Chain A
């Protein structure tokens, strides 16, 4: 079947967002989108409508993004990770017994799934992801967006498994705190005032 290029173009914003979150470099993103579009047009006979066009296109994009990551810096600099990215987060969150400090104990997020429908939520979500330190972000994205197994991430980046777990844990904690401040507690504040 023939794919209408205007349909491909309509999917461009989502594809750009995806690639940018992973690559964080406008030029690299443009290259990846370009390659994805070309591959899609070349291989359109392979698209059998079994999956939706978006799913099919994203599977190409995913592979192109992985290639781009591999072409870029292959190894994560461990000293950068431990020095720059370990900012004593756990010392802020927990006391010396390992229990929550009063002011950092997590509250309930009310009806969080409803946020999925809100465009503003995704802007905040992207901002929080982009706010992660770059190495941490890359590992988190490889896990959650490219759906790598942890062992494969470790191999790819020459990290130990426990190192990977620590980094993923740190990423999730930072995202949790960011969403809490920028979205959920703000929402609660507005709700309590109205």
Chain B
């Protein structure tokens, strides 16, 4: 199984590129078993959304 360090690298990369089917499956499997990584993934994705909201432009992009 992939370790937390590797899972963290992939959860960042999933914001920058399309993960392969295999990588995504391994990441999803890891986060169902590891709450630390599940939290880290939510936090990193929150930061990604925060950047989109930071200047109040998000609501206007339709």
- The chain A residues found within 8 Å of chain B, CB to CB, are 14, 17-18, 51-52, 54-55, 58, 90, 93-94, 97-100, 105-109, 112-113, 115-116, 122, 125, 143-145, 150, 164-165, 168-169, 172-173, 175-176, 179-180
Which range holds the interface residue count of chain B? 20 to 34
**Majority SS of interface residues in chain A?**
helix
How long is the Cα–Cα vector from A55 to B4 in the complex, in angstroms? 39
Nearest-Cβ distance from residue A58 to partner chain B, whole angstroms:
6
Contact A125 B3 (CB under 8 A): no
CB proximity to A under 8 Å, residues B26-62: 36-37, 39-40, 42-44, 46-57, 60-61
Contacts across chains A and B counted by CB atoms under 8 Å: 91
Contact A165 B39 (CB under 8 A): no
For residue A107, which residues in chain B have a CB less than 8 angstroms away from its CB? 39
Contact B16 A125 (CB under 8 A): no
| Closest Cβ neighbor of B16 among chain A residues | A150
For residue A115, which residues in chain B have a CB less than 8 angstroms away from its CB? 50
How long is the Cα–Cα vector from A164 to B12 in the complex, in angstroms? 11
For residue A179, which residues in chain B have a CB less than 8 angstroms away from its CB? 43, 47
- Most B CB within 10 A of own CB, among A14, A18, A112, A172: A172
How long is the Cα–Cα vector from A18 to B47 in the complex, in angstroms? 16
Contact A180 B43 (CB under 8 A): yes
- The chain B residues found within 8 Å of chain A, CB to CB, are 3-6, 8-9, 12-13, 15-17, 36-37, 39-40, 42-44, 46-57, 60-61
Nearest-Cβ distance from residue A54 to partner chain B, whole angstroms:
7
For residue B46, which residues in chain A have a CB less than 8 angstroms away from its CB? 109, 112-113
For residue A144, which residues in chain B have a CB less than 8 angstroms away from its CB? 48, 51-52
A97, A116, A173: the one within 8 Å of B3 (CB): A97
Contact A18 B55 (CB under 8 A): yes
How long is the Cα–Cα vector from A107 to B52 in the complex, in angstroms? 23
Contact A99 B4 (CB under 8 A): yes
